[in-house]
Amino acid sequence: MTKPRVLISDKMDPNAARIFADMGCDVDVITGETPEQLIARIGDYDGLAIRSSTKVTKEILAAATRLKVIGRAGIGVDNVDIPAASAQGVVVMNTPFGNSITTAEHAIALMFAVARQIPEANAQTQAGLWPKNGFMGVEVTGKTLGLIGAGNIGSIVAARALGLRMKVVAFDPFLTPERAVEMGVEKADLDTLLAKADFITLHTPLTSETKNILSRENLAKTKKGVRIVNCARGGLVDEAALKDMLDSGHVAGAALDVFATEPAKESPLFGTPNFICTPHLGASTTEAQVNVALQVAEQMAEFLTTGGVTNALNMPSLSAEEAPKLKPYMALAEKLGSLVGQLAHDNLTKIAIEVEGAAAQLNPKPITGAVLAGLMKVYSQTVNMVNAPFLAKERGLDVREIRHDREGDYHTLIRVTVHTSQGDRSVAGTLFGNAQPRLVELFGIKVEAELDGDMMYIVNEDAPGFIGRIGTLLGENGINIGTFNLGRREAGGEAVLLLSVDNPVEGPVLDTARKLPGVKTVKALAF
C-alpha cells in the first residue's frame, strides 16, 4: 500500500515531521510558499498541516484533488475555508487545548504589562533616562476582571485572575450558571461587564456576533481608566475607536496580541502612549508548540492510516479503536444507502436509519454519514462521509437516527427507510461473520444478497418459467450471471430478483427485460 503523503506548509516544531514518519506517512516540510506555489504542489498530498500563515482558500482546495485532511496546529481555523473543505469532503482538525495555558498566560502577562507599563519603562530605562517618576501603575489585587468568552482559555485566565485575588465577571452566552459557580465567576450580560470591569480580556472566536464586540459604542460604556487585553482574534476590538479612547484617557491602557489585519505592519495605535502589542505571540512557547505539533501530527496520521477521527470540526469523532470495528458497518451502511439512492424514483425528503443488535452499541454518526454518502453518490461522485451530511442538509433531507435495544432475528441490523411518493420503503442488512455486508430485506421482501459490483434488480410476478427467460436473455447477450438472489412476498405474489453480473447490463437488454411477461421493474445497479 502506498503511504499517505503529508505537506507541512507552516513553521512547526520538528516533532510533527518525526511523528508523521513514525506513523507511516511520507512527509515534506515546505514553508513560506506563495498561494500559487501551494496550488501547484497541493495536488500531490493527502494531508496538509498548517499553523496560521497558510490560508487554505477555495482556490487551494480546488487544486487539492487528493487531499483528505487539513490539520491546524492550534485553535483558530479562520485561515481555512471550512465550508469549501466540507463540500469537498476534506476533514478539518484542530488542536483545541494544546496552546490554551500558554495563551492564557500571555493574556495575564499583557495585563500586568499594561498595569505597570513595563515595555515603555524598560525602553526608557535602557535609553538611560531612569524615568522613576514617569510610570505610576495600578495593582490588580481587588480589581474586577471582565472576561468576554469563558471557554478553554477564558476559564484558565479566570482561574489565574482569581489566584491574583481579582474578582471575575464573565460574559459568555454559552456559560451556564452552574459552570459560572464552578469557575468562581459572576455571570453577567455585556453591559454589566463593561460597567464593572477595571480590566477586560477577550477570549472568543471572531464570528458575526463577536466582530467589534468592543465597538466605539461599547467602549464608551466602560469604566474610565479601564485596561483592555486582546489575545484572541483581531477584529474583536474597534482599533480606531480604541486609539481615540486611549488618546482621550478614557481607556488607561491596552494590549493587543492580534490585529484586524495581520501581519500588522502599520497601525494608528503604534506609538500611542499606554498601548503595547505583540505579533500574535499568544501560542508561542516551546511547550505549546511541541504540544500542538505532536497532537496535530498524531491526529492526522491516525486519520490517514486508520480512519480514526479526533477534534474534527466538520465530522464526528471516531477513536482509533472504534474505526476498525466500525469499518464493516460503514461498508454495509454505504451499500444500503446506495441501494435506496439507486432505487429511489423521486426526490427523497426523509430518511430514517435504524440500528439494532451489535450495531446499536456503536457510534451512530459514522453509520449515518456512510448511509448518506452511499445515497448521495447517486448525485455526486465526490461525495464522502464528510460532505454527505452537509449535502443532505442542503437538499432539505430530514435525517433520523433510531437505536433499538430489542433483540431481532440478526445479531446486528441496519435498516434504512426512505419516504417516497409511493410511501415508506425500507431495506435492511446485516454482517455475516461480523465482516461481510449482506442485504437481508428489500422493500418488505426477505432476500439474501451481497451488494457488489454490477447488478440487476427485477421485480416481477412470481410465475413458472420467468427465471429461465431472464437467464436466456442475459446469456444471449453475453452477460454472465455471478449470483442469483430471489425473494417473494408469497407464492404467486410479487417477487424480487437481484442478480450479480460480470459486466454492466446496458439499455437495450434492460428494455427487452422490461417487456418480458410479468415484469414490473428492471434496473441496473452498481456498487
Ligand X SMILES: O=C(O)CC[C@@H](O)C(=O)O
Which residues of the shown chain bind ligand X in the complex (CB under 6 A)?
51-52, 74-76, 99, 280, 282-284
Q: Are 460 and 495 within 8 A, CB to CB?
A: yes
**Using CB under 6 A, which residues numbered 244 to 273 contact ligand NAD?**
257-258
Q: How far is the CB of 174 from ligand NAD (least distance, A)?
A: 3
Residue 419 is a catalytic residue: no
Q: Which does 6 bind (CB under 5 to 8 A by kind): ligand NAD, ligand X, none?
A: none
Q: Are 48 and 9 within 8 A, CB to CB?
A: yes
Active-site hit among 280, 415, 425, 438: 280
Q: Report how far residue 123's alpha carbon sits from residue 460's, in angstroms, rounded to the nearest whole number.
A: 90
Of the pair 234, 487, the CB lying nearest ligand X is at 234
Q: Report how far residue 410's alpha carbon sits from residue 357's, in angstroms, rounded to the nearest whole number.
A: 7
Instruction: Name beta bridge partners: 221.
Output: none
The rounded Cα 92 to chain-centroid distance in angstroms is 5
Q: Which does 151 bind (CB under 5 to 8 A by kind): ligand NAD, ligand X, none?
A: ligand NAD
Cell numbers representing residue 206 in the block: 471572531
Residue 345 is a catalytic residue: no
SS3 state of residue 370:
helix
Q: How far is the CB of 55 from ligand X (least distance, A)?
A: 13
- Of 91, 145, 183, 231, the residue at the interface with ligand NAD (CB under 6 A) is 231
Q: How far is the CB of 108 from ligand X (least distance, A)?
A: 17
Q: Report how far residue 74's alpha carbon sits from residue 233's, in angstroms, rounded to the nearest whole number.
A: 13
What is the edge-to-edge ordering of all strands in the sheet holding 350-357?
A: 398-403, 350-357, 412-420, 423-432, 436-442, 445-449
Residue 262 is a catalytic residue: yes
Q: Report how far residue 305's alpha carbon sits from residue 313's, in angstroms, rounded to the nearest whole number.
A: 19
Q: How far is the CB of 202 from ligand NAD (least distance, A)?
A: 8
Q: Are 370 and 362 within 8 A, CB to CB?
A: no
Q: Report how far residue 449's alpha carbon sits from residue 443's, in angstroms, rounded to the nearest whole number.
A: 14
- Of 60, 64, 110, 150, the residue at the interface with ligand NAD (CB under 6 A) is 150
Q: Report how far residue 275's alpha carbon sits from residue 273's, in angstroms, rounded to the nearest whole number.
A: 5
Q: Which does 51 bind (CB under 5 to 8 A by kind): ligand X, ligand NAD, none?
A: ligand X
**Using CB under 6 A, which residues numbered 24 to 83 contact ligand NAD?**
75-76
Which residue has its beta carbon closest to ligand NAD? 151
Q: Report how far residue 275's alpha carbon sits from residue 215's, in angstroms, rounded to the nearest whole number.
A: 17
Of the pair 74, 341, the CB lying nearest ligand NAD is at 74
- Closest-CA residue to 499 (of 479, 477, 519): 479
Of the pair 63, 109, the CB lying nearest ligand NAD is at 109
Of the pair 130, 174, the CB lying nearest ligand NAD is at 174
289 is an interface residue for ligand NAD by CB under 6 A:
no
Q: How far is the CB of 94 from ligand NAD (least distance, A)?
A: 9
Could you tell me the CA-to-CA distances from 80 to 59, 98, 391 in Å, in that order? Answer: 11, 19, 19
DSSP string, 147-167: EE--SHHHHHHHHHHHHTT-E
Of the pair 100, 272, the CB lying nearest ligand NAD is at 100
151 is an interface residue for ligand NAD by CB under 6 A:
yes
Burial (CB < 10 A; 0-12, 13-18, 19+), residue 381, is: exposed
Q: How far is the CB of 288 from ligand NAD (least distance, A)?
A: 8
Return the amino acid letter for 109: A
Of the pair 119, 151, the CB lying nearest ligand NAD is at 151
Active-site hit among 36, 182, 262, 287: 262
Of the pair 203, 425, the CB lying nearest ligand NAD is at 203
Active-site hit among 72, 106, 203, 233: 233
Q: How far is the CB of 381 from ligand NAD (least distance, A)?
A: 35
- Of 53, 152, 215, 317, the residue at the interface with ligand NAD (CB under 6 A) is 152
Q: Report how far residue 200's alpha carbon sits from residue 511's, in angstroms, rounded to the nearest whole number.
A: 74
DSSP annotation of 317 reads: -
Q: Which does 153 bind (CB under 5 to 8 A by kind): ligand X, ligand NAD, none?
A: ligand NAD
- Closest-CA residue to 56 (of 94, 32, 82, 87): 82
- Residue numbers annotated as active site: 233, 262, 280
By CB under 6 A, name the binding residues for ligand NAD. Answer: 75-76, 96, 99-100, 103, 148-154, 171-174, 203-205, 207, 209-210, 231-233, 257-258, 280, 282-283
